[in-house]
Amino acid sequence: MTQSLYDAVGGQPTFARMAAGFYEQVRTDDILGPMYPANDWEGAENRLAWFLAQYWGGPQTFNEQRGAPMLRRRHMPFPVDRAAAERWLELMGRSLDQIDEETIPPVYRHAIWDHMQRVAAMLINTADEGTPPPIAH
């Protein structure tokens, strides 16, 4: 039986640390902070940890608590432009870097980072300031 990435990196505690490190930064971030309701930091942190754990082979807690992830749809109410996506990656990268290589070896770190880059790009739903709207055909 093949071990999941979730199990290989220590399971839920590792993803909880990643989410906690991310949200610790978001609270005071000028771009991402205002997107979060001040009374739901713990909820947001839990949802991120659940999502990451589930995606990488852990328990289905996100689906049980929230339904299917539908990331793009869930983030549509928030203006996610390139700057917000890049900031999300910056803060997630710092959080990932806080976890030692013994816990998340380079091969798994690379897989997690690659996924984060794809998610950040996929969530962009707002044109950058000064960018003309797309031309309709």
d(CA 42, CA 20): 9
Name the CATH topology of 7-122: Globin-like (1.10.490)
Report the pLDDT value the prediction gives residue 69, as an integer from 0 to 100: 77
Scored b (16 or more CB within 10 A) or e, 62-89 reads beeeeeeeeeeeebeeeebbeebbebbb
List the domain boundaries for the chain.
7-122
Q: Each residue's pLDDT tens digit in the chain (137 positions)?
A: 689 999 999 999 999 999 999 999 999 999 999 998 889 999 999 999 999 999 999 999 988 888 787 887 888 888 899 999 999 999 999 999 999 999 999 999 999 999 999 999 999 998 877 665 555 55
pTM: 0.87
